[in-house]
């Protein structure tokens, strides 16, 4: 790295520290550009992207079809608001609804907004359809969840860091341990309108519940006339090897929230997907967003839906799963304590004897792989599903070298 070039990185980091609120602790890496699964920093060093912007760039960076759609749509119309009709939104809504086997969608921008929307819909459904007395609707979530950073989403969270100093919180929520059907059974009462879960808890370390748990949740919620809302913001759209995670579980939720990859790595696009008997409770003026469902978002979202409808990417995730997971699992007992996940999405727990997950991520950067820690001991590996077999091998080789070096140093 020559001094004049690395000065560029320092300048950027310095400016961010001076002029941006300090709400992230980024890895010491300043990017300039990205293409496919590769990102390049301002000093010209390339890294294989295993963060994929928290699964927002699941198709890789600058995916040619999406760039083409971006060019075409921006020449026509980008932003209009839903106060008017713009050709294309209907196709996007139909495509996304059908991709999930549902009847309709409500378009928003971010994951947190989609989740807020789902909770509002569930409450309205509770009062209008289920007949819960006004103001009493209860929504049950899981301990360790991550559904976003808005006031309502952190009201549903038990993460002390996310919540500190942000109260008072939105009422009407109860948390139960994830993967504990008896606890959920005990929590459901006559005022319960929804159970709201991530099918795999991502930010909590890629926690996959026991086989059959979500099926039991579905049975229980149906029995008590309670909606099942699945937050598929991270698990959805191919990340776990099926289009949606609920498909692998053999269940049908009432509402599904999606975001991240729906924007094709180009812009924020999110949605709630459901049937008319639930989403139909909304009426004009009762919910909305200036940017939700804008023409550019709809065009990109439709292109993402079309890609997923081919099934090719889900197949690629499934086929590369073993190539990613087997070498990681081979490290258990030698610096790694557990490997969890599905498709091309792994959560790897690091033995504290060899350092923290962040230490390992910094070493991985040296080897040309960008990965991100989540919680203190877990590294999340989420390469875009356009990676090749050779690129997956490169990731696992770099990871193995880093873990082995730290394991030997700790002996
Ligand atoms: N839900 C899940 C499961 C997530 O992982 C995230 C973000 O990581 C969100 C919601 C929030 O999405 P956004 O950051 O777009 O608001």
Q: Is the domain of 326 the same as that of 346?
A: yes
Q: Is the domain of 299 the same as that of 320?
A: no
Q: Is the domain of 332 the same as that of 303?
A: no
Q: Is the domain of 298 the same as that of 343?
A: no
Rounded mean pLDDT of 304-332?
97
Q: Please report whether residue 14 resides in a domain.
A: no
Query: Comparing C-alpha atoms, which of 54, 145, 107, 42 is closest to residue 305?
Result: 107
Q: C-alpha dihedral over 310, 316, 321, 323, to 10 degrees?
A: 170
Q: Please report whether residue 374 resides in a domain.
A: yes
Widest CA span in the chain: 68
**C-beta 54 within 6 A of ligand 1:** yes
| Each residue's pLDDT tens digit, 6-22 | 999 999 999 999 999 99
Rounded mean pLDDT of 312-337?
96
Q: Is the domain of 205 the same as that of 283?
A: yes
Q: What CATH number is given to the structural domain containing 267?
A: 3.40.640.10
**Which of 286, 309, 332 is the C-terminal boundary of a domain?**
309
CA distances from 129 to 122, 134, 191, 277, 344 (A): 10, 12, 12, 9, 39
Q: Is the domain of 332 the same as that of 219?
A: no
Catalytic (active-site) positions = 146, 231, 260
Q: What CATH number is given to the structural domain containing 330?
A: 3.90.1150.10
- pLDDT the model gives residue 4: 46
Q: Is the domain of 169 the same as that of 189?
A: yes
Q: Please report whether residue 17 resides in a domain.
A: no
**C-beta 236 within 6 A of ligand 1:** no
**Rounded Cα distance, 279 and 266, in Å:** 27
C-alpha of residue 203 to centroid of ligand 1, in Å: 9
**C-beta 203 within 6 A of ligand 1:** yes
- pLDDT the model gives residue 5: 54
C-alpha of residue 328 to centroid of ligand 1, in Å: 26
C-alpha of residue 401 to centroid of ligand 1, in Å: 31
**C-beta 196 within 6 A of ligand 1:** no
**Which residues, 6 or more positions from 136, have their beta carbon under 8 angstroms from its beta carbon?**
191
Q: Please report whether residue 26 resides in a domain.
A: no
**What tokens were used for 20?**
């941006």
| Each residue's pLDDT tens digit, 23-56 | 998 888 999 999 999 999 999 999 999 999 999 9
**C-beta 233 within 6 A of ligand 1:** yes
C-alpha of residue 54 to centroid of ligand 1, in Å: 8
Q: Is the domain of 256 the same as that of 342?
A: no
C-alpha of residue 76 to centroid of ligand 1, in Å: 30
**Which residues, 6 or more positions from 224, have their beta carbon under 8 angstroms from its beta carbon?**
188, 192
pLDDT band at 204 (very low <50, low <70, confident <90, very high): very high
Report which protein residue has its CA nearest ligand 1's atom 1: 147
Please give the number of the atom of ligand 1 that sits closest to the Cα of 115: 10
C-alpha of residue 276 to centroid of ligand 1, in Å: 25
Q: Please report whether residue 202 resides in a domain.
A: yes
Q: Please report whether residue 323 resides in a domain.
A: yes
Q: Is the domain of 327 the same as that of 214?
A: no
Q: Is the domain of 133 the same as that of 82?
A: yes
- Best probe residue, ligand 1, of 234, 271, 345, 382 (max atoms within 8 Å of C-beta): 234
**What tokens were used for 105?**
């969608």
**Which of 275, 292, 309 is the C-terminal boundary of a domain?**
309
- The DSSP code for 31 is E
**Rounded Cα distance, 245 and 198, in Å:** 9
**Rounded Cα distance, 82 and 95, in Å:** 18
Residues of the chain with pLDDT > 70, as a percent, come to 99
- pLDDT the model gives residue 1: 41
| Each residue's pLDDT tens digit, 375-411 | 889 999 999 989 999 999 999 999 999 999 999 999 9
**Which of 292, 309, 326 is the C-terminal boundary of a domain?**
309
pTM of the model: 0.97
- pLDDT the model gives residue 362: 93
Q: In total, how many domains does the chain have?
A: 2
**Which residues, 6 or more positions from 390, have their beta carbon under 8 angstroms from its beta carbon?**
none
Q: Please report whether residue 397 resides in a domain.
A: no
- Best probe residue, ligand 1, of 233, 245, 378 (max atoms within 8 Å of C-beta): 233
**C-beta 263 within 6 A of ligand 1:** no
Q: Is the domain of 326 the same as that of 209?
A: no
Domain that holds residue 266: 64-309
Burial 185-204 (b: 16+ CB within 10 A, else e): eebbeeebbbbbbbbbbbbb
Q: Is the domain of 281 the same as that of 335?
A: no
Q: Please report whether residue 114 resides in a domain.
A: yes
Residue with token string 């086997």: 101
**C-beta 116 within 6 A of ligand 1:** no
| Each residue's pLDDT tens digit, 189-199 | 999 999 999 99
């Amino acid at each position: 790295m020559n001094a004049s070039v690395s000065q560029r990185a320092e300048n950027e980091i310095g400016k961010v520290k001076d002029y941006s609120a300090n709400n992230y602790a980024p890895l010491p890496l300043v990017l300039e550009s990205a293409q496919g699964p590769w990102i390049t920093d301002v000093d010209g060093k390339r890294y294989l992207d295993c963060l994929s912007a928290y699964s927002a760039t699941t198709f890789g960076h600058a995916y040619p079809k999406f760039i083409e759609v971006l060019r075409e749509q921006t020449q026509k119309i980008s932003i209009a608001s839903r106060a008017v009709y713009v050709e294309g939104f209907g196709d996007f809504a139909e495509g996304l609804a059908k991709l999930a086997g549902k009847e309709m969608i409500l378009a928003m921008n971010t994951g947190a907004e989609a989740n807020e929307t789902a909770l509002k819909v569930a409450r309205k459904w509770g009062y209008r359809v289920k007949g819960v007395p006004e103001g009493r609707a209860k929504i049950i979530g899981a301990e360790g969840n991550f559904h976003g950073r808005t006031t309502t989403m952190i009201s549903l969270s038990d993460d002390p860091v996310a919540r500190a100093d942000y109260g008072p919180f939105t009422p009407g929520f109860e948390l139960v341990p994830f993967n504990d059907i008896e606890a959920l059974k005990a929590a459901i009462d006559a005022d319960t309108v929804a159970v709201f879960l991530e099918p795999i808890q991502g930010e909590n370390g890629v926690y996959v519940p026991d086989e059959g748990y979500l099926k039991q949740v579905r049975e229980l919620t149906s029995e008590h006339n309670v909606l099942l809302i699945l937050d598929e913001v991270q698990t959805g759209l191919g990340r776990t090897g099926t289009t949606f995670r609920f498909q692998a579980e053999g269940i049908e939720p009432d509402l599904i929230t999606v975001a991240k990859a729906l924007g094709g790595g180009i812009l924020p696009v999110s949605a709630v997907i459901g049937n008319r008997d639930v989403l139909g409770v909304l009426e004009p003026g009762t919910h909305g967003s200036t940017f939700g469902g804008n023409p550019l978002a709809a065009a990109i979202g439709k292109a993402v839906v079309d890609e997923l409808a081919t099934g090719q990417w889900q197949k690629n995730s499934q086929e590369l799963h073993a190539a990613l997971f087997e070498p990681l699992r081979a490290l258990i007992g030698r610096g790694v304590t557990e490997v969890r996940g599905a498709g091309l999405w792994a959560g790897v727990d690091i033995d504290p004897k060899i350092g923290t997950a962040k230490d390992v991520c910094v070493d991985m950067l040296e080897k040309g792989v960008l990965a991100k820690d989540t919680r203190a001991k877990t590294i999340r590996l989420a390469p875009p599903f356009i990676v090749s077999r050779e690129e997956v091998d490169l990731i696992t080789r770099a990871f193995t070298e880093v873990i082995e070096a730290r394991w030997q140093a700790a002996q």
